[in-house]
Amino acid sequence: MSHDPSKKKFSRRTLVKAAAAAGAWQLVPRAVARAAGGEPVRFGFDDTLTGTYAALGKNTLIGCELAVEQINARGGILGRKVEMVVEDSTSGDAGTAVQKARKLIERDHVSFILGNVNSALALAMGQVTADRGILHIVPGGHTDAVTGTACHWNVFRVCNTTQMEANAVAPQLVKNAGKRWYYITPDYAFGHTLQAGLEKAGQKLGAVKAGADLTPLGTTDYSSYLIKAQAASPDVIIFLTQGADMINALKQAVQFGLEKRTHLAGAQQELEALEGLPPEARVGTWVFEWYWKQPGVPHLDAFVSAIRKKTGKVPTARTWQGYAAAWSCALAAHAAKSLDGVKLARAMQGLKLPPEIGLMPQAPFYRAGDHQLMPTLYVGQAQAGTAGSEDLFHVSQLVQGPEAAGPVEDSGCKLTWPHA
C-alpha cells in the first residue's frame, strides 16, 4: 500500500463510490421491469445450475427455454406472455433451494415452480409449494417419495420413480450380468430409494446383494469403494451415482480394469454422463429415460433439430424433461382456464401429453392417483462410439410406464387437497 496519504484516500473513495454504484445497478432491472407493466405469467425455475448436477440442471433449463419460446409463439398462456425467472438451487444445499423457492413465490409472484434434479431438494421444495398452493412440476428428481409417501396435491413429476427404473432394468441385469450385485450408492434420498428398489426388484428374480457402499454426494475419489467392491467378487458392480459422480466412479473403475473382471452396470444412466466418459468406460446395461433416436416417433426430428440449433448438441433426457415440464404448465392452464393452484392441479390429473410434446412411442400421461407421469422407459447398453459421437446408447427393450410403476396403491401416496 502507498504511504502517500492523498493517494490512499483517493483510492478508497473511488472504491466506496464504485461499490455504491454497483449496488444501485443491482436494483435497476427489476424497477424497469415493473415500470413496463403488462404482467406476464411467470415460471419459477429453481434447479441445479452449479455443482455435481450442473450439466443436468442446465440441460433441463434449455428444454424449458425452448418450451417457453414455443408457448409464447403460440400466444402465451391465457393471452399473457410467459417469462421464466431462473434461480440456482446449488446441487446439494436444500436450504438454498427452499430459500429460492420462497423468493420466487413471494417476490417474483410466479404461477408455477419447476425443479429439482436433486431428489432431496425436490422434496424440500415440494413442502414450500404445497404450503403456498403453487403448482409444482418436478422435471428430474427421482426418489419414490416425491410422488409416494411425501406426495402433495400440487406436485407432479415428469421423470420416473426410482422403483420404476429398478423394475425396468432388473431382468436385463440378471440376464446380461448375473445375480450377485454390489452397490455403489450416493448417500441421499435418490440413492437410498434406488438401491432399495433394485434390491426389491432383484429379489423376485433371485438376485442377491454382495455388498453396498454409501458415498457422499460430490465424492471425487472412488478407489477405496472400488477395492472393497472387487474384494466381494460380485457378478456386477451397480453404480447408482449420477452426474459428475457417475463420471468419476466409472472412469476410475475402468482405470482399475474392473470391467474385465466383472460387469459394470446400473439403473439410471444419462447422455450427459456418457458424453463425459472416455469411450472405453462407456459400458454396461442401463435405463435411459428418453433418447433422441427413436425410429418411427413423430415430431422427434423437429425437436432434435430445434435443440441442436440452440446448443449444437442433441437433446438429452434432461432437455426433454424440462421441455415436457414447462409445456405441461401451459397445457394445464389452457385446460383449467385459470392460474389458480387447485384448478391447475385438477386439470393436470390424467393430462395426456400430445405427440409433439410427449415424443415417445406411446403418449405419456400424469397418473391421477399419485401425479406421476407414465412414460416409456428405454433399457439398453452403453456403446463406446468415438470421442465426438452422439449415439452412445443402444436401446434393446422398451418398457411402458404403468407396467414398471405397478398399481397406484403401491406408491404409498395419499393426496390431501386444501379445500377438500
Partner 1 sequence: MSRLRRAAPASLAAVLLVTMPWWLGAVGGYTELATRIVVLGLAAMALNFLLGFTGVLSFGHAAYFGLGGYGAAMALKYLAPSDALAVAVGVAAGTVAAALIGALIVKLRGVYFAMVTIAFGQVFYFITFRWDSVTGGDDGLTGWSRLPLRLGPLALDVQHRDLAFYYFVLALFGIAAAVMGAVLRSPFGRTLLAIRENERRARFLGIPVERHLWLSFVISGGFASLAGALFALLNNFIDPRALRWDQSGNFVIMAVLGGMRSFWGPLVGAGIFVVLQDFVSSRTENWMSFVGLFFVLVVLFFPRGVLGVLRRRASA
Contact residues for partner 1, defined by CB under 8 A: 12, 15, 19, 26-27, 30-31, 49-50, 87-88, 92-95, 98-99, 102-103, 106-107, 119-120, 123-124, 127-128, 131, 150, 187-189, 192, 216-217
The single residue listed with the C-alpha cell 463406446 is 384
CB closer to partner 1 out of 216 and 406: 216
CB of 287 closer than 8 Å to CB of 379: yes
Minimum distance from CB of 204 to partner 1 (Å)?
26
Minimum distance from CB of 367 to partner 1 (Å)?
23
Minimum distance from CB of 155 to partner 1 (Å)?
13
CB closer to partner 1 out of 31 and 420: 31
CB closer to partner 1 out of 31 and 387: 31
The single residue listed with the C-alpha cell 417476490 is 107
Minimum distance from CB of 150 to partner 1 (Å)?
7
Minimum distance from CB of 334 to partner 1 (Å)?
29
Minimum distance from CB of 53 to partner 1 (Å)?
13
Q: Which residues contact 377 (CB under 8 A, 6 or more apart)?
A: 160, 164, 165, 168, 287, 288, 289, 398, 399, 400, 401, 404
CB closer to partner 1 out of 50 and 396: 50
CB closer to partner 1 out of 85 and 335: 85
CB of 114 closer than 8 Å to CB of 139: yes
Q: Which residues contact 302 (CB under 8 A, 6 or more apart)?
A: 356
CB closer to partner 1 out of 120 and 377: 120
CB of 249 closer than 8 Å to CB of 97: no
CB of 223 closer than 8 Å to CB of 248: no
Q: Extract the C-alpha cell encoding 5.
A: 496519504
Q: Is the dihedral of CA 304, 380, 92, 253 positive or negative?
A: negative
* Pick from 412, 311, 325: nearest CA to 370: 412
